[in-house]
Amino acid sequence: MSNAAQQKDSSPPAAAPAAQRTAISPTRAENFPEWYQEVVKAADMAENSPVRGSMIIKPYGWALWENMTAIFDKWLKNYGIQNAYFPLLIPVSFLAKEAEHVEGFAKECAVVTHHRLEKGPNGGLIPSPSAELEEPYVVRPTSETIIGDAMARWIQSYRDLPLKLNQWNNVMRWEMRTRLFLRTSEFLWHEGHCAFETADEARADALHVMGLYKKFFQDYLAFTGYDGPKTAEERFPGADETFGFEAMMQDGKALQAATSHDLGQNFSKSLGIKFQGRDGKEAHAWTTSWAYSTRTLGGMIMMHGDDDGIIMPPRVAPIQIMILPVVKNESESGELMEFCNKVAEDLKKAGFATQVDGRDMRTPDKMWSAVKKGIPVRVEIGQREMEQNSVTFVRRDLGRESKTTATVSAFMAAIQGVLDDIHNTLLNRHKNFTAANTFDAKSTTEIRDFYTAGKTGFVRVPVELLNDQSLNQFRKENAISTRCMPFEDEGRSVLLAKSY
């Protein structure tokens, strides 16, 4: 409860018999939020910036995001989505057009009110009073309105439908409390916006993209979770239905990894997205929107990381294989580097993201650096290996016990399988973890007992319980939200959890 006091006591591991030093301290068990921050730092992925709530994504973090976007972008195009770009600034009046939408976002909008600076009375620069905008702009918190406005002009006939757009961009929501990747004021995402002739098509689109997310998370990011409709209280402002993908973090809190919205005709009516139908009559289009963001990346860290730092899922890892030359003495180093580079070249030709760590550092330090960056496979090559034309490699997911020596040709033949196996190990770990942290409860009393006992995870309860006022009161007091109504239970149940 009194967290502030507790933390201080729990963070130093009390100089106990440091059996095995972990690369990250505190450990997950000691202090999960602090562990998370340290992991991001240790991997050199991101840092806080001078701009409150906005982070700097460093090259290694960016490389991961880039991989996460490149793959999914192809899938979207394959599904018939066209990428486009819409303005960062949205006229306030646009945002105001959809009643629920304004209400949902007004509280967290950054507003642009001036177009010129001038010298202030105390030095420095101030917005020039003579340069106040007639109508302020908001920095987009999401783009439904400005894209809808364009759609209204672009769509005249049912022949213009469906219109399926997406943009990779940044948005801003003035968050009160931020954490690297998980919640930042400015964040990166893609936002898809589609318009259809019929309600069924729109619904199918929202569901289809949710399916893509699920597949992407499973096949590339190596995690699983529950997908399904959100309850009314968690719905996107202005949506008829929101589908979410909920994943369980190692501290027992849920994280929404993606959402997809069936917006019905709410936005088309307020923004005038109309078309002449096959019957010659005027009709409003049915629209959708969907997204995943840099938050998903943060979630991935919290799902796969261990006390030595992040573990990169191999299929999106910026560096899949790191080769460490183990140099004994200078005289051999030239020949050894040549050998390492040769192996690296072959791996690169075979399509694997490979690097040789040729930095002038002690070997153990390079090893830990690779560990903290979560590089799936670390290859060590010293005099021994070179003489036998072999390599020694270690899997990040299994640690030093997995150390194996193989001939170069055997390694080349096996590496794809090794990476796939790492992927599967991570995925299965997370599947088992999710299953082990999903509990069933049939009554408000059971739910109360669960949380009162200090347990965490998903609690799956019958949807009818949402009508129980005493449960709602309890949820409110304990910050327990409804996550989604899993498709697999066909609407009979809803998942409760504390969440990010």
In sequence order, what are the beta bridge partners of 55? 48
* In the complex, minimum distance from the CB of residue 105 to RNA, in angstroms, rounded to a whole number: 7
Is 288 one of the binding residues for RNA (CB under 7 A)? no
3-class secondary structure, 385:
helix
By CB under 7 A, residue 9 contacts RNA: no
Which residue number, 237 or 318, has a Cβ lying nearer to RNA? 237
Range in contact with RNA (rule: CB under 7 A) among 47-55, 125-133, 343-351, 450-458: 47-55
Answer yes or no whether residue 230 interacts with RNA by CB under 7 A.
yes
**Which of 189, 196, 450, 458 is in the footprint of RNA by CB under 7 A?**
189
Q: Does 3 bind RNA (CB under 7 A)?
A: yes
Shortest Å, Cβ 226 to RNA: 15
CA separation for the pair 296, 182 (Å, rounded): 7
The 243-282 site mask, x for binding RNA (CB under 7 A), equals -x-----------x--x-----------------------
Q: Where are the alpha helices (DSSP H) in 320-407?
A: 330-349, 363-372, 383-387
Total interface residues for RNA by CB under 7 A = 75
Nearest CB to RNA, comparing residues 4 and 453 = 4
Q: Round to whole Å and give the CA distance between 377 and 367.
A: 11
Examine residue 298 and tell whether it contacts RNA (CB under 7 A).
no
Asked if 438 interacts with RNA (CB under 7 A), we say no
Handedness of CA 224, 171, 75, 165 (dihedral sign): positive
Q: Given the complex with RNA, which of 73 and 175 has the nearer CB atom?
A: 175
Tokens of 239: 């949506």
- Least separation in angstroms between residue 379's CB and RNA is 8
Which CB, 126 or 435, lies closer to RNA?
A: 126
Between 162 and 192, name the residue whose CB sits nearer to RNA: 192
Query: How do beta strands 226-229 and 481-482 pair?
Result: unpaired
Taking a C-beta distance cutoff of 8 angstroms, is the pair 226, 497 a contact? no
Residue 107 binds to RNA (criterion: CB under 7 A): yes
CB 63, min distance to RNA, A = 21
Q: CB of residue 183 vs RNA: minimum separation in angstroms?
A: 6
Please tell me whether residue 62 binds RNA under the rule CB under 7 A. no
Q: Can residue 44 be called a binding residue for RNA (CB under 7 A)? A: no
Residue 98 interacts with RNA (CB under 7 A): yes or no: no
Tokens 């009709």 locate to 283
Of 54 and 265, nearer to RNA (C-beta) is: 54
Residue numbers 474-493 binding RNA by CB under 7 A: 476-477, 479, 481
Within residues 154-183, the interface with RNA by CB under 7 A covers 171, 173, 175-180, 183
**3-class DSSP assignment, residue 79:** coil
Figure out which of the listed residues 228, 314, 382, 486 binds RNA, where binding follows CB under 7 A. Answer: 382
Looking at 104, 225, 228, 457, which residue binds RNA (CB under 7 A)? 104
Give least dist CB 308 to RNA, A. 6
Nearer to RNA, 155 or 239 (CB): 239
- Whether residue 26 is preceded by a cis peptide bond, meaning omega within 30 degrees of 0, is yes
Q: Which is nearer to RNA, 111 or 435 (CB)?
A: 111
Residue with tokens 């672009």: 154
Chain positions 349 to 368 lying near RNA, rule: CB under 7 A, are: 362-365, 367-368
Candidates 77-85, 233-241, 406-414, 450-458: pick the segment binding RNA (CB under 7 A). Answer: 233-241
Cα diameter, the chain = 84
Query: Binder to RNA among 394, 408, 465, 471 (CB under 7 A)?
Result: 394
Quote the least distance from Cβ 158 to RNA, whole Å: 29
Among 72-80, 82-90, 187-195, 339-347, the segment contacting RNA (CB under 7 A): 187-195
- Our finding on whether 308 is near RNA (CB under 7 A) is yes
Q: Mark 399-428 with x for binding to RNA (rule: CB under 7 A) and - for no binding.
A: xx--x-------------------------
User: Is-contact 195 283, C-beta < 8 A?
Assistant: no
With binding defined as CB under 7 A, does residue 454 bind RNA? no
